[in-house]
Amino acid sequence: MTTRIFAAALIAISLASTSAQARLTPVEQRIIAAVDADQARQLSLLERLVNQNSGSHNIDGVTRVGAMMDAEFKALGFQTRWIDMRAAGRAGHLIATHKGNGRGKRLLLIGHLDTVFEPDSPFQQWKRTGNDGTGPGAGDDKGGIVTILSALRAMKSAGTLASADIEVVLTGDEEDTGSPLDLARRDLVDAGKRADVALDFEGLSVDDGKDMGVIARRGSMSWTVKATAIPSHSSGIFSKASGYGAIYELVRILDDFRRQLTDDKLTYNVGLIGGGQTAALDQGEIRLEATGKTNIIPAVAVARGDLRALTPQQVDRTRAKMAAIVANHLPGTNASIEFGVDAYPPMAPTAGNRALLARLNAVNADLGLAAQAELDPLKRGAGDISFVAADVDGLVGLGPASIGDHAPGETVDIASIWRQAKRAAILMSRLAAEPR
């Protein structure tokens, strides 16, 4: 994660400056005032959301958070529906739809109800200390969904929500996706096909003290390499009759990955490895049990890892190179590679995404805020917006800034919620007024 901006006072002064306000329309000035007037209500909601555990596997807890958000969206005039996902091993998704005048750009807002903190985690409660709010999901992503609500409530107060066509998808399993993935992400993909713009309200990226714009996220997929050989006495290792054994074959493959796969923004991690006379993965493929002796050439070796790439073309190119490396066996060995089917696609840095960032930076200029430069995709992981990236232009990071995400002590910068809500509300109001 990145570091936060703690200059909330300076930002407030900038937003209040006469020169910045002069660049906003009267309606947009009402949006700013509405966000500020609603802060106490939204912060109270965030506290209630954080105090309700919604670990990805806590079906009841995720459902409860969904119900809390359902009431909020209905109060804004949205039609809501709960998509049950118990068939995928998870609670479900909340979809909220607002029908406007049908003439402006159709907006898709993305967030998630779940956190990484299951009911057995000792980290369970909200605590506020000045401008900091600490608690499970305070930033990722309960702070994000409160930012959505803050922006939408400000739009309603200022009168820009009435004509806006908006669909909100809050998934219940972003942190640990249900399976099969095509079922777990079916409804999000469908929403992306209906939209003209996608805005993802996961956390704001802050790099070297600067708010950044995110127009690209690398995709993520798993891979498994299995090497095999004929076991025999270790005294014959490297001989024509005995060959090199499975472990040397696996090491050869992994080292060739390291030396030959050198594309920009590409990474490939080895997260689990083992080998010997026997080696077997458990059903979840997160544990490996191996047996062996020093005087036996190993019969099997297994490694699992992930692959992260920026474009579909880079994914295809890298998979082909990996398969070719695996096929170049050492004497007396064999090997195969399998790629996981539950993969996150990449969100490539398209011209359309860059145009959206330019629109956001026009809002920043009118608010008196600094422009947001593009974040290096190496500094951001995969996420839900990637599932719609092939169909619609998008931006990531409309949620608040936070530190320590996914660990006890996760802390949201409260002032950044209001900053982000103002940015989002004005951006959405402008986009919703543009012809499709």
Per this entry, what is the length of the chain?
Answer: 436
Neighbours of 272 (CB within 10 A): 14
Reported as a single tens digit per residue, the pLDDT across 224-254 is 999 999 999 999 999 999 999 999 999 999 9
What value does the mean pLDDT take over residues 301-324?
96
Q: Which of 104, 120, 135, 90 is nearest to 342 (CA)?
A: 90
What distance in Å separates the CA atoms of residue 257 and residue 270, rounded to the nearest whole number? 10
Q: Residue 12: which pLDDT band, with cuts at 50, 70 and 90?
A: very low
Structure tokens at 408: 């006890």
pTM over 0.85: yes
DSSP letters for 217-272: B-EEEEEEEEEEE---BGGGTTSTTT-SHHHHHHHHHHHHHHHH---TT-EEEEEE
Cβ-proximal residues to 41 (8 Å cutoff; 6+ apart), any chain: none
Residue span(s) of the chain under CATH 3.40.630.10 come to: 8-217+347-432
Q: Where in the chain is the domain with CATH 3.30.70.360?
A: 219-339
Residue 185 clears pLDDT 60, i.e. is over it: yes
Matching residue, tokens 């900038």: 14
Secondary structure (H, E, C), 50-117: HHCCCECCCHHHHHHHHHHHHHHHHHCCCEEEEEECHHHCCCEEEEEEECCCCCECCEEEEEECCECC
**DSSP letter string over 5-32?**
P--HHHHHHHHH-HHHHHTS-HHHHHHH
Query: Could you confirm whether domain 219-339 is CATH 3.30.70.360?
Result: yes
Mean pLDDT of 47-76: 98
Residue 22's pLDDT band, with cuts at 50, 70 and 90, is low
Neighbouring CB atoms inside 10 A of 412's CB total 34
By DSSP bridging, strand 219-229 and strand 267-276 are: unpaired
The residues pairing with 211 across neighbouring beta strands, listed in sequence order, are 206
User: Which tokens sit at 110?
Assistant: 């993305």
Q: What is the CATH number that goes with domain 8-217+347-432?
A: 3.40.630.10
